Amino acid sequence: MGVVPLIYIKYIQLIGGYPMSLYVKDNEVNRMAERLAMLQKISKTEAVRRALRHELEREQQMPSLVERGLAFAHSLRAKAGPAAGRTADKEFIDSLYGEP
């Protein structure tokens, strides 16, 4: 491997890694990027950047699976009310199995 110029190393450190190209081989995606670029009067690259940034921000604002599960459990508990539920004593467990 050859010697890497110091300027290139500083560039890599500045951007946080190696620069990579994104090749999209889908006509529909290309048309959507071109349309968004035209409507917003920006380049296709900027249109894709904004769209991806928007989607990442939207994803990060969504509650996690754990948060959604807890919210669901709390809503069930609220619907049932404070007096809901039976004590799981021996009599209750025996009634589940049809035992006297």
Residues with Cβ within 8 Å of residue 46, at least 6 apart in sequence: 37, 40
Cβ atoms < 10 Å from Cβ of 33: 19
Residues 6 or more apart in contact with residue 7 via CB below 8 angstroms: none
pLDDT in tens, 4-59: 444 554 555 555 556 667 777 889 999 999 999 999 999 998 999 999 999 999 99
At 23, list the tokens: 């090749």
**Angle at 94 (CA atoms; ends 96, 85), nearest 5 degrees:** 60
What band does 94 get if pLDDT is binned at 50, 70 and 90? confident
Report pTM: 0.52
Q: How far apart are CA 6 and CA 72, in angstroms?
A: 55
